[in-house]
């Protein structure tokens, strides 16, 4: 994503109130989706990997043609220019990037994943049914267009404004339409479904009432919060999940299972004007009747599905897509409720029995009422099985890693490509359910206070006879194809001594083979990014999702919480401060109280004797955070009134840290 690679707040807070940042970070790389220069080329598949992937190919019905017919059904046209660029010429999307994914699977890609990515390669403008069209294959997600009486309803807006603007213009041109967009529906609170909104509508039209923006209850809080408090860690880990920085070829990136890749560009957010809060709620939007079903806490904290009775078309959002989804996403997020997820799918069977086409925020539609019901029932059973199997094993005394190593999956689901783990996996989803109910602790007191990874690694390596002895054992295991064991052994050596080039090389070779064998696009990406970073150093694609719209979307409490967690707590140990902030436009007073190295914030609390008091408006406060305007100039301009000792502000806010967006993962 072509957004600022460091926090938009941390440095500007320090600069606005004091002299500068407590720490600094390296600048981000140019935002292109074409990968980065690779110093060490990837290696071929070993004989072990070749045999493993051949076995997968023999075990699956990879020649089932129905999905391929559905994925290409209704194609109207593809973008005439495969290269989409921003106004300043930067590459946003290369539609030809994954064209090598065709024919039989190479030895370096799991055949099941290869099949999924061939399906995900279908791209263009598609007719779903009369009056409903989808743009697919130009981002990781889909954009759906529903024709109303006077204009278009856009369901989800892709990740970035540049790709949404280009594909919408292309679609309307092919449809011969000059009608405007009159409404946007956000299906749920993940950025790849709202980030491109500014390429679809003008916020001034939203404010003027010309465009409605419809979202499920809790949308703004969920959309903003997920990218803030843990945003730096999630964004760094997302590089691994989505393979950001990998080249696109048979030995590197082939897709994510969910879709092809993330577009590069500007991520935005326009707050909703209309909120859906209960199942059965109805709206008529530009003459189109819509019936909603809530799906909160399923694939996203804020999510909904909905039905168009006049067209017998059901939008499944991301609750039901053409694979097993994530109960836990490996980029890091709150655990999802697999049992609740299954119940939403079950409820939809009864709410919308007349549906003749079902489409979603990813992948391709399903046509025919019988096919839809069978598909939804399998999706329901997938999440119900994951839940029940995990808790069945947990109640028998198995712990997280034992449960995650379980291989049984019902025959009817295993044979269904739409239930296979191309994005989520049975392994990490079973672990997720255990964690949802029981947390990380396995109940064994020996696990209560383990040594940290680097210290554990040093002691294991010493106990096993030193680095050379461990590597000798690991090489034998590698030759035998025991890659999971090799990964553990070499990881200990790397964490004990990250300068051991032989250990890094063998660990990279091992992760690479695990990636070649992975059915999940996310696991493949994670393994291959790990291998590449071991060989060539940390990849530095653009990282931040904390754009200006996200900052503007934060409520005051979240804004202050975000600042507080970035404080250098050790430097502020023993410091006390009371800061009063009065926002005249909001008619709100906030007390910021520093004690015991934490900065608490309380709305409505009036401090009797604050060290300093600021009187200002929220827009002025945001100008300090987003535009870097300094406090003295705002005071001089009469936009901020300061009472008390302004040095207190400097003492506190000079210790707001900027987190390194490129912290180490596969090395200590």
Is the residue at 464 inside a domain?
no
Of the three residues 382, 416, 440, the one that is the final residue of a domain is 382
Token pair for residue 559? 């804004």
* Predicted pLDDT at 4: 35
Taken in order 190, 192, 194, 198, the sign of the CA dihedral is positive
- Give the Cα separation of 453 and 461 in Å (integer): 12
Determine the average pLDDT of the residues in 275-295: 98
Residue 640 lies in domain: 548-653
Least Cα distance to 303 among 323, 284, 279, 339 occurs for 279
Determine the average pLDDT of the residues in 649-655: 91
Which DSSP category does 362 fall into? S
Is the residue at 439 inside a domain?
no
Is the residue at 500 inside a domain?
no
- Give the Cα separation of 3 and 323 in Å (integer): 30
Task: Give per-residue pLDDT as tens, 442-451.
Answer: 999 999 999 9
Is the residue at 235 inside a domain?
yes
* Predicted pLDDT at 28: 27
- In percent, the amount of the chain with pLDDT more than 90 equals 86
Q: What is the CATH number of the domain that holds 188?
A: 3.60.15.30
Q: What is the CATH number of the domain that holds 558?
A: 3.30.1050.10
Of the three residues 351, 382, 413, the one that is the final residue of a domain is 382
pLDDT of 283 strictly over 80:
yes
- Give the Cα separation of 214 and 202 in Å (integer): 15
* Predicted pLDDT at 19: 42
Is the residue at 525 inside a domain?
no
Number of residues that this document lists for the chain: 668
* Predicted pLDDT at 544: 55
- Give the Cα separation of 10 and 349 in Å (integer): 47
Q: How confident is the model at residue 33 (pLDDT cuts 50, 70, 90)?
A: very low
Determine the average pLDDT of the residues in 102-108: 97
Domain count for the chain, please give it. Answer: 2
* Predicted pLDDT at 5: 34
Average pLDDT, the chain: 93
Is the residue at 345 inside a domain?
yes
Classified as helix, coil or strand, 153 is strand
Concatenating the DSSP letter of every residue in 386-403 gives HHHHHHHHHTTT--HHHH
Q: Is the pTM of this model over 0.85?
A: yes
* Predicted pLDDT at 251: 98
pLDDT of 31 strictly over 50:
no
Q: For 154-163, 173-182, 222-231, 437-446, which range has the lowest pLDDT when averaged over its residues? A: 222-231
- Give the Cα separation of 606 and 582 in Å (integer): 10
Sheet holding 313-315, edge to edge: 282-285, 288-294, 304-308, 313-315, 357-359, 366-367
* Predicted pLDDT at 252: 97
pLDDT of 71 strictly over 60:
yes
Is the residue at 372 inside a domain?
yes
Task: Give per-residue pLDDT as tens, 44-65.
Answer: 999 999 999 999 999 887 677 8
Of the three residues 339, 360, 382, the one that is the final residue of a domain is 382
* Predicted pLDDT at 22: 38
Least Cα distance to 302 among 194, 404, 391 occurs for 194
Is the residue at 95 inside a domain?
yes
Task: Give per-residue pLDDT as tens, 450-489.
Answer: 999 999 999 999 999 999 999 999 999 999 999 999 999 9
């Amino acid at each position: 994503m072509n957004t600022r690679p460091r926090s938009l707040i941390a440095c500007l807070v320090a600069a606005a109130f004091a002299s500068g940042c407590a720490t600094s970070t390296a600048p981000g790389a140019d935002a292109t989706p074409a990968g980065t220069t690779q110093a060490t080329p990837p290696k071929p598949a070993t004989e072990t990997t070749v045999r493993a992937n051949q076995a997968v190919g023999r075990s699956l019905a990879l020649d089932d043609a129905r999905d391929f017919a559905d994925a290409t059904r209704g194609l109207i046209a593809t973008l005439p220019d495969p290269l989409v660029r921003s106004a300043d010429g930067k590459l946003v999307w290369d539609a030809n990037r994954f064209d090598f994914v065709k024919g039989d699977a190479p030895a370096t890609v799991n055949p099941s994943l290869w099949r999924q990515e061939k399906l995900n390669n279908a791209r263009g403008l598609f007719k779903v049914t009369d009056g409903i069209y989808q743009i697919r294959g130009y981002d990781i997600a889909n954009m759906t267009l529903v024709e109303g009486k006077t204009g278009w309803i856009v369901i989800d807006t892709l990740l970035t404004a540049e790709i949404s603007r280009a594909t919408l213009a292309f679609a309307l041109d092919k449809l011969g339409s000059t009608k405007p967009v009159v409404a946007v529906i956000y299906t749920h609170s993940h950025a790849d479904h709202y980030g491109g909104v500014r390429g679809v509508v003008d916020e001034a039209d939203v404010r003027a009432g010309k465009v409605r923006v419809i979202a499920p209850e809790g949308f703004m809080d969920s959309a903003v919060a997920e990218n803030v408090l843990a945003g730096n860690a999630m964004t760094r880990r997302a590089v691994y999940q989505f393979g950001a920085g990998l080249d696109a070829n048979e030995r590197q990136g082939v897709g994510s299972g969910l879709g092809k890749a993330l577009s590069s560009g500007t991520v935005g957010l326009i707050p909703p004007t209309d909120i859906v809060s209960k199942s059965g709620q109805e709206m008529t939007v530009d003459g189109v009747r819509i019936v909603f079903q809530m799906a909160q806490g399923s694939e996203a904290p804020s999510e909904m599905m909905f039905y168009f009775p006049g067209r017998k078309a059901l939008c499944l959002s991301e609750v039901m897509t053409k694979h097993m989804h994530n109960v836990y996403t490996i980029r890091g997020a709150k655990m999802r409720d697999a049992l609740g997820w299954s119940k939403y799918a079950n409820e939809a069977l009864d709410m919308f029995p007349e549906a003749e086409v079902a489409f979603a925020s990813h992948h391709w539609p399903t046509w025919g009422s019988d096919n839809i019901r069978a598909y939804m029932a399998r999706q329901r059973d997938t999440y119900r099985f994951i839940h029940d199997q995990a808790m069945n094993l947990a109640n028998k005394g198995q712990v997280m890693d034992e449960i995650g190593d379980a291989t049984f999956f019902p025959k009817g689901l295993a044979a269904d490509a739409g239930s296979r783990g191309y994005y989520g996996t049975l392994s990490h989803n079973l672990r997720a359910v255990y964690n949802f109910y029981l947390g990380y602790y396995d109940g064994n007191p020996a696990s209560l206070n383990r040594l940290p990874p680097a210290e554990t690694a040093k002691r294991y390596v010493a106990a096993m006879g030193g680095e050379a002895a461990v590597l000798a054992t690991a090489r034998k295991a590698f030759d035998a194809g025991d890659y999971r064991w090799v990964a553990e052994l070499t990881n200990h050596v790397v964490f004990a001594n990250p300068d051991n080039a032989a250990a890094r090389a063998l660990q990279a070779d091992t992760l690479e083979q695990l990636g070649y064998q992975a059915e999940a696009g996310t696991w493949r990406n994670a393994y291959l990014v790990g291998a590449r970073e071991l060989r060539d150093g940390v990849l530095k694609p653009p990282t931040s999702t904390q754009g200006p719209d996200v900052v503007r979307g934060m409520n005051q409490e979240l804004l202050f919480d975000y600042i507080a967690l970035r404080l250098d707590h050790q430097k502020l140990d023993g410091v006390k401060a009371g800061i009063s902030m009065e926002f005249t436009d909001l008619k709100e007073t906030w007390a910021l109280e520093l004690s015991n190295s934490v900065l608490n914030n309380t709305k409505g609390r009036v401090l009797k004797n604050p060290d300093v008091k600021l009187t200002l408006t929220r827009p002025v406060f945001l100008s300090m955070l987003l535009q870097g305007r300094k406090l003295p100039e705002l005071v001089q301009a009469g936009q901020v009134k300061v009472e008390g000792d302004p040095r207190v502000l400097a003492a506190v806010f000079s210790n707001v840290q900027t987190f390194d967006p490129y912290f180490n993962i596969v090395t200590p």
